[in-house]
Chain A
Amino acid sequence: MTNPPVLLRLDAVEAGYGSLRILKGISFEVCAGEIVTLIGSNGAGKTTVLNAICGVVPPRRGTVTMDGHDITRLQPHEIASRGVVHVPEGRKLFPDMTVAENLEMGAHLRRDRAGIRADMEKMYNLFPILGERRHAPAGALSGGEQQMCAIARGLMARPRIMMFDEPSLGLAPKLVEQIFGIIRAINDEGTTVLLVEQNAHMALQLAHRGYVIATGEITLSGSGSELLGNEMVKRLYLGEA
């Protein structure tokens, strides 16, 4: 079996805040069509990795390549225009805009009005609650509804790779399962996924491959099932003896 082409590659990426050096040379890759998960404890640097990819925290050293093109020094809006879409930690909706306007913001870079309209209807079918509340300000949604809105907003961009930062945070188990189901469905439709999760168990079950990050470095990598069976992962991230 031939490997699918690498879509996103990080090569010895270093990044941080001010004088703080958080990422100490991160390298990994995400192939087209894969679900790759990044797990690690609080403060390990997972969010920082995603922010380095999308240009919010520009890398100091190393390179980020998307589809063979160097995107390390690009601005966030330029990176977004290459199909890298980030569903950020804490949803980050535009609270005073309606649900519909949030979705339109997701499609900001697209110019095909008819396509946007059709995709919005698609989102309302995928997440009926968003359809019901399309004219409500996003700030008035519940946490779970906000997460759905954030995912739908990301999908509106028709991403090539979609990065999720802790989509299950603060949600009831039932809702978490629903969100994971949606992520799988998104992937089945051909979108590559990079998933950051605290819920390592579910993430590793879902993902094709995973990386473990600790204090700004990749310490372990392997297929989802390999990592699920790994002693260290079991001890540190799955809470098993």
Chain B
Amino acid sequence: MATERGRQSGWNTALWWGGGFALFALVITLNRDFETFLRYLVLGLPQGAIIALIAVGYSMVYGIIQLINFAHGEVFMFSTFFVLMLLVPPEGGQTMAPALIGATVFLIVACTVWVLAERIPARWMRGAVAVAAGAAAAAANARLMPATGAGAAILPFFAAYALAIVYTCCLGVTMDLLAYRPLRHSPRLIALITAIGLSLFLQNFAQLIWGSSSRYFPASVRPAILGSQQVTLTPALSLSRLDLVIVVLALALMAGLQLFVMKTRTGRAMRACAQDRVTASLMGVEVNRVVAVAFALGAGLAAMVAPLYVLRGTPIHPQMGYMVGILAFSSAVLGGIGNITGAMLGGMVIGIVSAFVPLFDALDRFAWFEAAVRAGWITREGYAEFVQGFGKPGQYQLAVAYAFMILVIVFKPTGLLGKASAKRA
């Protein structure tokens, strides 16, 4: 019974928070008009969907091996560079890029094939297959990348997008194989420090390959369906095609992930490993393989949203994964780290909460503001000074998001859907 009750109270808390927040948002917006509320909500959805899908990557891995994979943000960053490298020739100074990219593709494909080819019993044969696959992939990749100076991309946008997703999955698997698997039985702190080190390494490695300047996808490669034209939902409510795609894709991915985890044999093995790895192995589950699947899935989900995130106007650079990563990780904690549904919920909540923050710059347009001025509690000048003095409070989206998160964690330390780690009897 304890478990049933625990699960319910998780949902109850989530409902309380969600309901409370909706009420708060309603109260401050209804004074103006309901459509303003919807407009901000719609602004928050794509942002939240992106954070949610990245957050899942943290939670899934944590659920199984209790490791906070700090390098997950860098995986996200790499996936955008993978798309970029397939679409845009390297810049002038990047003479090392082709060689380093070749080495990277070789390594990640070879490691992934090594992990997949467990059926081959002889290690040398398995190694040979892995090396051959890596070399073939590196050679093929070199032909797919546009040459320096030449210009035009060889692959269409969506092909590059798909290939980048594959590469990113391979990167996730490789990271686990080389950095984390050898530490599976070491103290958790060691693995955590390794994760931080790996995160820094990947940032610097990306900088070595692609340089530190900010880049964008050139407008010429952007497909029309991911454009910024507005799609009108109601006369007063519209969002860009890109945002619509993000929201629809994210919902589909979340539903798919939920189905995978709950209904498939591998998903079930994953949940079993999250509860008790040793016992799962007694059932014949190959734990290392399940962990590899978790890394690949998490990386793949991040790679699915990464180019869309960039198309919303954020520059591509080696540090881009850091901020997004921390935000997504915090969302995973907010939702209850280790809980996949929680990570999705946490990401959506954070995205939506931060979307409402710009409202604070426009408080003077509310009806109750007028009333407060008439009552003599505030003056218009005072408010204008406040807004100026804080350099527009509406910019403090992250600060408010984190404050909200801290508030939730104070009242429910296990996160929205998390529960106190039950003793394994």
Which residue numbers of A lie inside 8 Å of B, CB to CB?
Answer: 54-56, 75-77, 80-81, 85-86, 88, 90-92, 94-97, 101, 104-106, 108-109, 136-137, 139-140, 153, 157
Q: Is the CB of A54 within 8 A of B286?
A: no
Interface pairs (11), CB distance under 8 Å? A54-B282, A56-B282, A76-B282, A77-B285, A80-B284, A92-B276, A94-B272, A94-B280, A95-B425, A104-B268, A139-B2
A residues near B283, Cβ cutoff 8 Å: 80, 105-106, 108-109, 153, 157
Instruction: Name A80's contact: one of B265, B269, B275, B282 (CB within 8 Å).
Output: B282
Which residue numbers of B lie inside 8 Å of A, CB to CB?
Answer: 1-4, 265, 268-269, 271-272, 275-276, 278-287, 422, 424-425
Docked CA distance A139–B419 (Å): 14
B residues near A101, Cβ cutoff 8 Å: 268
* Given known contacts A90-B425, A101-B268, A105-B268, A76 and B281 CB-to-CB distance under 8 angstroms: yes
If A88-B279, A92-B276 are given as contacts, then 9 extra A-B residue pairs at C-beta distance below 8 Å, sorted by A number, are A81-B284, A92-B424, A94-B280, A95-B424, A97-B272, A97-B275, A108-B269, A157-B283, A157-B284
Q: Is the CB of A77 within 8 A of B275?
A: no
B residues near A56, Cβ cutoff 8 Å: 278, 281-282
A residues near B280, Cβ cutoff 8 Å: 94, 105
Docked CA distance A91–B275 (Å): 13
Question: Chain B binding site: helix, strand, loop or mixed by DSSP?
Answer: helix
* Given known contacts A80-B282, A88-B282, A140 and B272 CB-to-CB distance under 8 angstroms: no
Q: Is the CB of B3 within 8 A of A96?
A: yes
Instruction: Name A137's contact: one of B4, B269, B281, B424 (CB within 8 Å).
Output: B4
B residues near A157, Cβ cutoff 8 Å: 283-284
Q: Is the CB of A92 within 8 A of B269?
A: no
Q: Is the CB of A77 within 8 A of B286?
A: yes
B residues near A139, Cβ cutoff 8 Å: 2-3, 422
Q: Is the CB of A140 within 8 A of B3?
A: yes
Q: Is the CB of A108 within 8 A of B422?
A: no
Greatest chain A CB density within 10 A among B2, B272, B279, B424 is at B279
* Given known contacts A80-B281, A80-B283, A139-B422, A95 and B268 CB-to-CB distance under 8 angstroms: no
Shortest Cβ distance from residue B227 to the other chain A in the assembled complex, whole angstroms: 44
* Given known contacts A88-B279, A90-B425, A77 and B3 CB-to-CB distance under 8 angstroms: no
Docked CA distance A136–B271 (Å): 16
Docked CA distance A77–B278 (Å): 10
